[in-house]
Amino acid sequence: MSNPDTLPKSLLAGYQKYGNRKVAMRKKDLGIWQSYTWQDSYEQVRQLSLGLISLGLKRGDKVCIIGDNDPQYFWAQLAIQSAGCVAVGIFTDSIPPEIQYIVHHSDAVLVFAKDQEQCDKLLELRDQVPAVQRVIYWDDKGLWNYNEPWLISLEQVQGLGRSLDAEQPDLFERSVNQGCGEDLAGFCYTSGTTGLPKGAMISHGNLIAGCDQTIQVDPRLETDEYMSFLPPAWITENTLGLTIHLRTGMVVNFPEAPETVQQNIREVAPQSLLFSARLWENMVAMVQVKLIESTWVNRLLYQIFMPVGHKVAGLRFEERKPVGLFWRFLHTLGEFAVFQPLRDKLGLVSVKSAYSSGAALNPDVIRFFRAIGVNIKQLYGSTEAQVHTLHTGDDVRFETVGVPPPGMGIKIAEDGEILVKGATVVRGYYKNPEATEKAFFVDQDGQRWYRTGDAGHIDSDGHLIYLDRVKEMLTLSSGEKYSPQYIEGRLKFSPYIRNVMSIGSEDSPFVTALINIDFDNVGRWAERQGLPYTTLVDLSQKPEVYELIRRDVEEVNRTLPPAARVRKFVLLHKEFDADEGELTRTRKLRRSLLGERYGDMIATMYGGGDRVQVQAAVKYRDGREGVIETTVRIATLEDEMTEEKPA
């Protein structure tokens, strides 16, 4: 059994390899990290799995699990899979109707529910889930006086397992060895933005392929530490956590409570981490706040050495130039004074693979972490095919989500949709042939592809650029598609741009943009340049400022296919204003109103003029109202990829 093809077989292999000599998992309990060796893990799973069998579980049955990250969650999942059954994870914050839907739809016969909170939800649903024979809990707090025979503790189930083990000592191994890679390991229900959740049927082969593809480009050692805090019902925790643990021996640590994750990460100092973009941003904000509360010595050191960190990171990652001796010397000092202590505070002291997934990460956040010595990489994937692309090694770029790992194939469909193939692509959705038909197809070569529903394109270096969901893309008169969200989101990352509305529809041949400059930042920039200005109206129309913003627009254009690039833009003489109804109160653009109000400008941009006369009502600070008249210039960007019109 050199290469186990299921998760339980991998557990067995790990147990035979490490036995009692190596820690498999740790959980902080009563303030102390408790260790479980591979033998502990194995025995827990063995007793539990046999217990489930004595409760009447048959091969192919479905069992739901709803609970936080605990060793018991992983043991329950492995016990279910060891019995040849399918584990269905449910998010802990699910409300009873959502739980009812998944438990009912997956045909679950047993449910693991961690604690009182989850058991209460199931008790409430009891009449609506008649197929569920027992509910198994592993945290008895508050359940002491329930006296409800439908509920049974995990220890009781293991007790049943021990009795069965005494009768049939070879049953567990037999059951595990009966499994194969084709067997279903679990269902992951995806929270579809529209319609009911769909249960992606994930096989052991899918999970093992997902793990092996990832660790080929991002190796893990058996001495590595991992902190399990992503929801275990999510595919990502299954791939990056449980499966990698079983395949490489990496130690999995479980936080004391959901609220202590950040503290526990610091204690464990894991080698790999995956945070959402929001979490990375929060960490930067947290550092800024703590710094203000810190001593003046710390603030001074920070002010001295952060620019050094930025300089060196800029040379290394952006300009890709060698770092001179002088800077290297300063950087070493900074490492001792600031970077290393900061990484320690953030729990990033040993991190080798720091990933961000979900929304695009602000380049300034990436630069901050690079300056303190953490190179954050993007990871893009789905429940249906796990990791599609990721940044590998030092080849990390702000605008891309990386390259497919070996074994994964990526291609862009006619309409811009990202298609993926590989051993990780699941068989389909449980009891939903219609959705399966829509999302998966087999090409002429017999390859199975998954339609991600995401739009993107591949740049000249083979990196994938993620734009938006396909249904959010707009079409130009040429039939080409472009992503307003992508353009606006990326442009807003510029410190000089306050707000943007991109324009382009089936009536327009190309994309244009109305841009609000950030008066404070551009003003400060102008002062540094010795550029005199009076008001926003004046500043926004300076040729130098147009040049400054043009560079940002060109930067974003470079990441886009030629047809989807911004060709013309104007810098507005005033800001979009919620009081004038131009923005909603949550500061979202009111596109149709803005389209009307700035109709002249938009018409001129498409008409070929180079300036527009505008009148704008202004309210002065003293309450008087007036009208200003000014000329707004239109900037045109030349595109090296397309032919220019003859002059």
CB of 155 to other proteins, least distance (A): 18
Nearer CB in complex with other proteins: 145/295: 145
Strand-pairing partners, residue 355, are 274, 377
Nearer CB in complex with other proteins: 141/174: 141
Nearer CB in complex with other proteins: 144/326: 144
Quick one: which H or E segment has residue 89? strand 86-90
> Do 402 and 390 form a contact (C-beta atoms < 8 A)?
yes
> Do 493 and 552 form a contact (C-beta atoms < 8 A)?
no
Q: Does 29 bind other proteins (CB under 8 A)?
A: yes
> Which residues are CB-contacts of 147 (< 8 A; sequence separation ≥ 6)?
none
Q: Does 131 bind other proteins (CB under 8 A)?
A: no
CB of 148 to other proteins, least distance (A): 14
Looking at 39-47, 253-261, 503-511, 567-575, which segment touches other proteins (CB under 8 A)?
253-261
CB of 145 to other proteins, least distance (A): 5
Distance CA 211, CA 209 (A): 5
Q: How many alpha carbons lie under 13 Å from residue 541 in its C-beta half-sphere?
A: 16
CB of 34 to other proteins, least distance (A): 12
Nearer CB in complex with other proteins: 31/446: 31
Looking at 26-34, 174-182, 431-439, 456-464, which segment touches other proteins (CB under 8 A)?
26-34
Determine how many CB atoms are found less than 10 A away from the CB of residue 646.
4
Strand-pairing partners, residue 34, are 27
> Which residues are CB-contacts of 233 (< 8 A; sequence separation ≥ 6)?
65, 66, 89, 90, 91, 92, 188, 189
> Which residues are CB-contacts of 8 (< 8 A; sequence separation ≥ 6)?
45, 78, 81, 82, 176, 179
> Which residues are CB-contacts of 213 (< 8 A; sequence separation ≥ 6)?
386, 387, 405, 406, 407, 408, 422, 423, 424
Q: Does 257 bind other proteins (CB under 8 A)?
A: yes
Quick one: which H or E segment has residue 33? strand 32-37
Nearer CB in complex with other proteins: 29/577: 29
User: Exactly one of 133, 153, 178, 263 binds other proteins (CB under 8 A); which one?
Assistant: 263
Tell which residue, 209, 207, 506, 493, has the closest CA to residue 364.
493
Looking at 175-183, 254-262, 389-397, 539-547, which segment touches other proteins (CB under 8 A)?
254-262
Nearer CB in complex with other proteins: 259/644: 259
Near other proteins in 356-415, by CB under 8 A: none
Q: Does 256 bind other proteins (CB under 8 A)?
A: yes
CB of 141 to other proteins, least distance (A): 7
CB of 257 to other proteins, least distance (A): 5
CB of 142 to other proteins, least distance (A): 5
Q: Residues binding other proteins: what is the number (CB under 8 A)?
A: 14
Near other proteins in 515-534, by CB under 8 A: none
Strand-pairing partners, residue 410, are 420
Distance CA 487, CA 292 (A): 34
CB of 480 to other proteins, least distance (A): 50
Binding mask 134-153 for other proteins (x = CB under 8 A): -------xx-xx--------
Q: Does 320 bind other proteins (CB under 8 A)?
A: no
Amino acid at 308: V
Q: Which residues bind other proteins (CB under 8 A)?
A: 28-32, 141-142, 144-145, 256-257, 259-260, 263
